[in-house]
Amino acid sequence: MNAVHAPKPVEKALRMLCQANQEAYAVGGCVRDCLLGKTPSDWDITTSATPEETKQIFRGFRVLETGIQHGTVTALIDGAPLEITTYRIDGQYLDARHPKSVSFSRSLADDVRRRDFTVNTLCWNPTDGIVDLCGGAADLQNGILRAVGEPDRRFREDTLRILRGLRFSATLGFELEAETAKSILRNRQLLTVVSAERIREEFTKLLLGKNAAEVLREFHEVIEVFIPELTPLLGCPQNTRYHCYDVFEHTLHALESIDTDETLRLCMFFHDFAKPLCRRTDENGTDHFKGHEKTGSELVRPILTRLRYPRKTVDTVTELIAIHDTKAPKTKVEAKQLLRKIGVEHYRQLIKIKRADNRAKADPHAIDKKLLQMENCLSDILKNGECYCLKDLAINGNDLKAAGISDGPEIQRKLNWLLDAVISEACPNEKTALLAKLQTAPQETGSC
Ligand code: ATP
Ligand code: MG
Ligand 1 centre distance from Cα of residue 411 (Å)? 59
* pLDDT < 70: residue spans in the chain: 444-448
Q: Which atom of ligand 1 is nearest to the CA of 205?
A: 4
What pLDDT does 406 receive? 85
What's the pLDDT score for residue 445? 46
Which atom of ligand 1 is the closest one to the Cα of 42? 2
Question: Could you tell me the distance, in angstroms and rounded to a whole number, from the CA of residue 120 to the centre of ligand 2?
Answer: 9
42 lines ligand 1 (CB under 6 A): yes
Residues 6+ apart with CB under 8 A from 402: none
Q: Which atom of ligand 1 is nearest the CA belonging to 161?
A: 27
| Closest ligand 1 atom number to CA of residue 44 | 14
Q: What is the rounded CA–CA span in Å between residue 270 and residue 300?
A: 7
Q: 81: which strand partners? A: 76
Ligand nearest to the CA of 27: 1
CA dist 392 → 125, 403, 416 (Å): 60, 19, 12
Looking at the CA of 206, name the nearest ligand: 1
User: pTM of the predicted model, to two decimals?
Assistant: 0.94
Closest residue by Cα to atom 12, ligand 1, is 29
Cα 248 versus chain centre, distance: 19
| DSSP per-residue string spanning 388-420 | -SGGGSS--HHHHHHTTPPSSHHHHHHHHHHHH
Cα angle 187, 190, 193; round to 5:
160
Closest CA to 113 of 148, 145, 144: 148
Mutate to test the pocket of ligand 1, among 44, 46, 85, 155 (most ligand atoms within 8 A of CB): 44
- Ligand 1 centroid–CA 28 distance in Å is 6
| Least distant ligand from the CA of 38 | 1
The pLDDT of residue 444: 63
Determine contact, residues 50/86, Cβ cutoff 8 Å.
Answer: yes
Query: CA-CA distances (angstroms) from residue 339 to 113, 140, 240, 435?
Result: 56, 48, 30, 24
- For residues 149 and 81, give the distance between their C-alpha atoms in angstroms, rounded to a whole number: 31
pLDDT at 448: 43
Distance CA 365, CA 360 (A): 10
Report the C-alpha gap between 292 and 232 in whole angstroms. Answer: 14
Kindly report, residue by residue over 317-366, the tens digit of the pLDDT. 999 999 999 999 999 999 999 999 999 999 999 999 999 999 999 999 99
β 129-131/123-125 pair status: antiparallel
Considering only CA atoms, which of 422, 354, 359 is closest in space to residue 394? 422
Asked whether 120 lines ligand 1 (CB < 6 A), one says: yes
Give me ligand 2 centre to Cα 25, in Å. Answer: 14
Which of 31, 84, 164, 201 for a ligand 1 pocket mutation test, highest count of atoms within 8 Å of Cβ?
164
Q: How far apart (Å, rounded) are the C-alpha atoms in residues 120 and 97?
A: 18
CA dihedral 300, 160, 124, 104 (to 10 degrees): 150
**Ligand 1: centre distance to CA 29 (Å):** 6
What is the per-residue pLDDT for 308? 98
Q: Which ligand is nearest to the CA of 202?
A: 1
Distance in angstroms (rounded) separating the CA atoms of residues 310 and 204: 12
CA distance linking residue 420 with residue 427, whole number of Å: 9
Pairwise CA distance, residues 146 & 183, whole Å: 11
